[in-house]
Structure 1
């Protein structure tokens, strides 16, 4: 039976996907409890995390959900962190990834699709966002997502030294947007209100308490521009505008790289150089 370990001393070198700890579809040999396996435990973990959140999640609570003892769970995972990693990668598998054989030039559609899937994941499972920065994220589903992102950004034609920046710009934005949206929806659910009801009550309170503050005067045009849109429509519109700006930024960078390359060619031509001339010298 696995030892019920606590925290890790070196999280940079520790993961359920390393050290032979990744699930292989059967659990441990010996007198392990019947009716359990890692898939079932992981599925129950996801349900609990969705229903009660990360702060309330515990091995004892999970065991009660499975109707087993807490020590029974430790036949299949070494630590709570291992289980959280398994749950995190399991929900990452919900994301639909673009076809790897998509035609060249379709990077905009693929990038939008990946951004939409990641945002939806963060909204659907608010506990995902704090875990993304906690673990190495090297499970099979997460790695498939990473490969899809890298392939899509590579397909833009950006030079390698700019590709990491493009990935960061788009997906750190999506991470932040999806995290805030997901947490807002969680607050609404805790308050027993719809998104629109919560927004109206919160906005009314802010207007009453901060009526004389400069921030309200500054935001007047922005608030008026929202019109009669629902909160859901506001989220969607803001996300689309922001993502359009990210894509426009990539297009602008592409144009900049093209201009720089043209200038270099012009300089070489001015010096009487031709492609391959240096190699002949």
Structure 2
């Protein structure tokens, strides 16, 4: 059993996926299993957020006693790890496999990852607290690594390329998700909330001088009626920039390798001529 105290003492090695859980004697509560518990937890997290999840509330949602949950999980942390891995399973790896080139595969992975973060606003703050080594998470990680490998980048450059793309996606999806949450809490659509919040400081006379250089971009962004289309536009173009950057770096590495090979050939030819 991985207890909360154990996680605090050694977070780098604490995970439900590393736990050697003792088998419970007898049978578990009728109609209850881990998949059902996790599905209910994901629904609650989506609707109420991390702070509202508890074993007691989850048991009430499932129509069982809190003690019934302990046949299948030991702590709330266990449930969160299972829930996180469950939503990683929403990324369509089969569609990635069917794509014709690495550029398309990166776009599909990035878009599905972003959508997952937006659908599940609790994922972003949770991701850094756990090892994320469940089967779905690892499968996604494998696919990202394999796709970056296909670019032709050297081994020592691949982690940087993965970070450039997928840390960007993580940040973008996090901001998009949290913005949606704030709009919902304000009882407004995202379009209304965005225009209202921008105008709140754009039209403040005390801020006139400080935002003067930003008026052009602020006017452009608030000229759109559909914020979701703006999210998509900016994300797509930023992703294009990153992919183009990878292509440039691949070409640069190839040119450097060709230059080094030519230099070695020239030196070999000079040595042969001297003999």
Q: Single out whichever of 85-94 and 258-267 deviates more from structure 2.
A: 258-267
Partner of 2:259: 263
TM-score by length of 1: 0.88
Separation (CA, whole Å) in 2 of partners of 1:202 and 1:99: 38
Residue 216 of structure 1, aligned match among 211, 216, 238: 211
Matches within 5 A, 1:74-153: 74-98=70-94, 102=98, 106-153=101-148
Shift of 1:101: 5.4
CA RMSD, 1 decimal: 2.2
Could you say if the C-alpha distance between residues 252 and 211 of structure 1 is closer, same or farther in structure 2, counting changes exceeding 3 Å?
farther
Q: Single out whichever of 258-267 and 227-236 deviates more from structure 2.
A: 227-236
Separation (CA, whole Å) in 1 of partners of 2:96 and 2:195: 44
Query: Gaps (5+ residues) in structure 1?
Result: none
Query: Gaps (5+ residues) in structure 2?
Result: none
Shift of 1:225: 2.8
CA contact (8 A) 1:98 1:114 kept: no
Q: Does 1:235 align with 2:228?
A: no
Could you say if the C-alpha distance between residues 122 and 273 of structure 1 is closer, same or farther in structure 2, counting changes exceeding 3 Å?
farther
Matches within 5 A, 1:33-52: 33-52=29-48
Matches within 5 A, 1:13-92: 13-21=13-21, 28-92=24-88
Shift of 1:173: 0.2
What secondary structure, in the 3-state scheme, does the structure 2 residue paired with 1:34 have? Answer: coil
TM-score by length of 2: 0.90
CA contact (8 A) 1:98 1:148 kept: no
Alignment size in residue pairs: 268
Separation (CA, whole Å) in 1 of partners of 2:3 and 2:148: 40
Could you say if the C-alpha distance between residues 153 and 14 of structure 1 is closer, same or farther in structure 2, counting changes exceeding 3 Å?
same
Separation (CA, whole Å) in 1 of partners of 2:81 and 2:214: 41
Residue 4 of structure 2, aligned match among 3, 6, 12: 6
